[in-house]
Structure 1
């Protein structure tokens, strides 16, 4: 490979790394926008902690858990290549990764993905979780759970070899391996935490707890959409012109269709133009296309996104009906739409077919079992030892005051309940 092409590929991957990093701004804006002002510092603190500690955990051992180099004959379930990230001899040459990027770029790009899984949990458990237990959860979930599940597919583990080397489970950029991993953690977290005070009345009916800054939430979604160009575009693992441009097209069309799908169904059901549902529909479309963005035609991308938009509306209603409290809709967006996008690979696109659908279903099931079990063990252990929920007084006054001793805005002293 000529030096110019290798350099161009690596530059594209570094740009994508920056875009995925920028997504953390989107997550932060979305989460604080859809929650109350008195918890803003708390949410921002969690998001910054996830990035910093998540990257360090990935450096210490996560990267080598996720890409351990499973030996021939291995079960492909768990292996570890050692601590740290010392580059191999060919790590900075076109011999590494087919000339798509260097070893250092590989680590940083994958490290940006790792932190995303815990960020998904952050929004779901917002406004009532103690900061200390959440920090402990993040260390274990990003440091161990996420890389182990990722190794089963992206690291050459057992999911990648289902049905033979040319078949297997397929997840292009992480509908299951990133989004559903975070979604399962979020679901277990909100189940063990319980709902926020005032979310459900004595009759059991859900009550709206409006977010304090919808313009900021809107900006967050637009930032996430932009960041997804790096999330999916970088998953091509090179600057290949044809495949990269196709991925960006399918990603954008699915996002647009997801937004329109949620807009149409929510308007029919609730007789109002709900912006928050519209925004989550866009995210649902993005999550839905992530597993197969490189396999789909534009028409298929629109259909996948449209169905994801419908799922958002129905999923949010389902979460409320079973009395779970998810302030930002993370479970519906990342878990339910993540499962939909993963299964869609077996229904649409270049890999559509009965066997492939079963491989996709197996991957969804494996991630569900491992992630829900490990998340439950971590959260339940914390609940029974140091506790995971703040007191009633702390929740009513706001976590900013009690957990951090400061307000998000200097002149904010309102006691919002």
Structure 2
């Protein structure tokens, strides 16, 4: 493909941030893979973007597309400041790291969290729905504090200033500028270094981070301090930011599709369908983190040269009509299996069961306790960047 034909996504302006789906649909009509220029990048940064479903699914599992940028001489600021983590490694390092963390991140542990997730949700709704209210920002009142509280308790992170942490976390996943991103990552890295050392000294068990500090594989392998910091960074950030968006996007979808909301209210057993269709229709991650071609390959008839960067468009792929009929329709009875919201292959999200549990609990509890829930003002301020797909605020009333 002629590189002069790169599509400059910045030319679509704010409309692309508010609603990227028409742009992705236009690209899919032209082909499954495109050279694009990322909007608001520090430089005119170009990469390949995969927008077709089958091509995206294949690319997510293709070993020729490495996650470790060091293989082609790339090191992003987060890895430099906090260390390598699962999303930035390949086998055998990825296999080793994942096996060590999986020992502590089990389905049994997630199931044990169910009553606690429900209690935290009830407490947040008690506060939000207290007499004399009647309106709130759902992101600040429920979608953000629920997963943050759960992941902090799971990891064993002391209760921190949520307002301050939200600023740091948002700058990491949806930075407004490179300098703020670097500062946020550095601050979080310093905090985690101190926390891990406290865990090591105290020897207290019972939380995930403490277990990771002491986890030893059968061959005696353990996580290094740098690996522990990188793992904690990933679990803390990915463990709540994505679920914030899942809850917010799911409630917004229901409130803007009254027929689907009515169907759910009539049959709350459809809640699983709501979560899965939200993940497909407006998933929390817009594009997977970069992959790097370690050898020439072809995707969707397009040649990718060694050393080039590839971004897999999860949001774009999940509106591919070749895989999901009437893809722009939000349908909670749809069979949404096969969506790519949690990735595919080796890097499939470890936290998927926890995200689903929190999404089901938050949305169903909210609707049960706020029967008159409705939108209460503008809801078009979406997070910047092309990584996350979520709202800054979601004003509601009841």
Structure 1 and Structure 2 fold alike (TM over 0.5) = no
- More helix, by proportion: 1
Please report the TM-score for the alignment, with normalisation by the length of structure 2: 0.28
- More strand, by proportion: 2
